[in-house]
Amino acid sequence: MSDEEDEASAPAYAECVLCREPTEYPESYKGITLCPVCEWQEAQRTACSG
């Protein structure tokens, strides 16, 4: 199996709303999608905001 076939059969991932990198969420996911890096950074920002 070639790389092109792997990419064609792989599910499409939604883009991160902050950096436009692929996320772990499918394109059909409703809501805000963040890549793992931005998700972690956002968690750090909101953890001490209280």
Q: Counting Cβ atoms within 10 Å, is residue 23 exposed (0-12), middle (13-18) or buried (19+)?
A: buried
Say if 5 falls within a structural domain.
no
- What's the pTM value of the predicted model, to 2 decimals? 0.66
Say if 3 falls within a structural domain.
no
Say if 4 falls within a structural domain.
no
Say if 32 falls within a structural domain.
yes
- Structurally, the chain folds into a number of domains equal to 1
The whole-angstrom separation of Cα 42 and Cα 50 is: 14
The reported pLDDT for the residue numbered 7 is 53
- The answer to whether residue 41 scores a pLDDT higher than 80 is yes
Asked if residue 19 lies in contact with residue 37, where contact means CB atoms within 8 angstroms, the answer is: yes
Say if 29 falls within a structural domain.
yes
The reported pLDDT for the residue numbered 11 is 73
The reported pLDDT for the residue numbered 48 is 76
Per-residue pLDDT tens for 5-35?
A: 555 566 799 999 999 999 999 999 999 999 9
The reported pLDDT for the residue numbered 35 is 96
